[in-house]
Amino acid sequence: MWRVPESVYHIEDLYSVTSSHNLLEVNDLKKHFPIHKGMFKKTVGLVKAVDGVSFSIKEGETLGLVGESGCGKTTVGRMIMGAYRPTAGHIWFQPPNGSPKVDLASIDSAAMKPLRRYIQMVFQDPFASLNPRMTVREILAEPLIVNKILRGSELEDRVRQLIDLVGLRVSHLSRYPHAFSGGQRQRISIARALALYPKLLVADEPTSALDVSVQAQIVNLALEIQNRMGLAYLFISHDLGLVRHFSQRIVLMYVGRIVEYAPADPLFARPRHPYTEALMSNVPTTRRDLQGKKIILKGDPADPMNPPPGCPFHPRCQYAEDLCFLKEPSLVEIEPGHLVACHRAAGLNLTGCDALGCAI
Ligand SMILES: Nc1ncnc2c1ncn2[C@@H]1O[C@H](COP(=O)(O)OP(=O)(O)OP(=O)(O)O)[C@@H](O)[C@H]1O
Ligand code: SF4
Ligand SMILES: [Mg+2]
């Protein structure tokens, strides 16, 4: 495993270690995008990209957010970052130093400005997110200068600490982004995200544009940084195996809603939603007798503009019964901390990754 140089850890005294306090609480969050048509831009429909999502992230915890393409993962991340204004709901954030918690969903941009440093984002495509006309030194220094945190020799020291922290060299600071590999560029993105001592990193598919071998390095780096700093992650991915590596708890989304939300161990031992079971069956297995025995989901995910009545998953569900066509299931706690939205959750005995021997 690649290791973060020990020399840099003393800088992170600002971080608290993992605790049971919620850093972020998302309550009934919605984002509905209006669809306009015609000369007068008449609203002809709503894309319910996120439709009533609730979860929390503790200090120092990783929450995995998983689901197929289009289920609303990035939209959730962008609302937390303040890039999208929610249609409804709350995003309670606990600032450091004991200040009262703040609803990011309702504050204006002036009130958001001092809080923005505590929540940073790492994107899927590190090249697109780095300014090609700035050197790495300028990229890392920029947030510290803009926020008036450091200047002069202290600024240079911090920039050097950051580059060291992500396993690159001081000699890299004078280069431009095009002179780096994809993995190195992602390291630079992570260093920039860490510049302002954030409390939460929203990582949106941070490794999916990278080679598999490089993915492992970035995952190790992120874990090392988290262990040392007590940083919390919202780790967004469609790859359940990767999320397992990272996360203490996992949220599964389907067409803008949560279908299952549980601590990682019980979830992988016994999923309670047929969608989770299907995703797990598609994680590569180490068991030869099970290879090729995947649950192939029929058709595409439902259209968030026009979801089917009843359970939105029913057209693809092998366990659907009459009630599923008529009534949408609510998200209920089936075991302590384990929530599921399925009429049949109590009666189904679904197979999880532990029994499948998932290679994760
Ligand atoms: N600005 C927008 N206007 C209208 N619809 C949007 C907008 N942004 C996202 N959507 C729609 O909202 C839904 C959720 O999109 P989102 O990008 O959050 O999905 P995702 O889970 O991140 O998908 P992926 O895994 O492909 O990144 C999709 O149907 C998408 O087309
Ligand atoms: S409610 Fe019915 S259709 Fe929906 S996941 Fe459960 S069994 Fe399948
Ligand atoms: Mg996305």
Residue 93 phi/psi, 5-degree rounding, is -120, 135
Q: Can you tell me the distance from the alpha carbon of 278 to that of 351, in angstroms, rounded to the nearest whole number?
A: 9
Residue whose CA lies nearest to ligand 2 atom number 1: 342
Query: 297 in ligand 2 pocket by Cβ < 6 Å?
Result: no
Q: Can you tell me the distance from the alpha carbon of 129 to that of 231, in angstroms, rounded to the nearest whole number?
A: 21
Q: Tell which atom from ligand 2 comes closest to the C-alpha of 323.
A: 2
Residue pair 276/260 in contact by the 8 Å Cβ criterion = yes
Instruction: Give the pLDDT score at 134.
Output: 97
Q: How many other CB atoms are found less than 10 A from the CB of residue 181?
A: 12
Q: Can you tell me the distance from the alpha carbon of 221 to that of 4, in angstroms, rounded to the nearest whole number?
A: 7
Q: Which residues, listed in sequence order, are joined to residue 200 by a DSSP beta bridge?
A: 119, 232
Q: Can you tell me the distance from the alpha carbon of 132 to that of 335, in angstroms, rounded to the nearest whole number?
A: 50
Q: Using the 8-state DSSP alphabet, how is residue 241 labeled?
A: H
Token digits of residue 275: 């969608």
Q: Which residues, listed in sequence order, are joined to residue 56 by a DSSP beta bridge?
A: 25
Instruction: Give the pLDDT score at 258.
Output: 98
What the chain holds in terms of domains, given with CATH numbers, is 6-251 (3.40.50.300), 265-356 (no CATH)
Q: Tell which atom from ligand 1 comes closest to the C-alpha of 75.
A: 18
- Residue 328: HSE in the Cβ half-sphere, 13 Å Cα cutoff: 11
Residue whose CA lies nearest to ligand 2 atom number 5: 342
Q: Can you tell me the distance from the alpha carbon of 277 to that of 290, in angstroms, rounded to the nearest whole number?
A: 14
Per-residue pLDDT of the chain (360 residues; tens, 9 = 90+): 333 333 333 333 333 344 578 999 999 999 999 999 888 888 889 999 999 999 999 999 999 999 999 999 999 999 999 999 999 999 999 998 788 999 999 999 899 988 999 999 998 887 788 999 999 999 999 999 999 999 999 999 999 999 999 999 999 999 999 999 999 999 999 999 999 999 999 999 998 888 888 888 898 899 999 988 889 999 999 889 889 888 999 999 999 999 999 999 999 999 999 999 999 998 888 877 776 678 889 888 999 999 999 999 999 999 999 999 999 999 999 999 999 999 999 999 999 998 888 877
Residue 339 phi/psi, 5-degree rounding, is -110, 145
Residue pair 303/246 in contact by the 8 Å Cβ criterion = no
Residue pair 105/26 in contact by the 8 Å Cβ criterion = no
What pTM does this model have? 0.92
Instruction: Give the pLDDT score at 12.
Output: 38
Query: 140 in ligand 2 pocket by Cβ < 6 Å?
Result: no
Q: Tell which atom from ligand 2 comes closest to the C-alpha of 343.
A: 1
Query: 104 in ligand 1 pocket by Cβ < 6 Å?
Result: no
Instruction: Give the pLDDT score at 292.
Output: 67
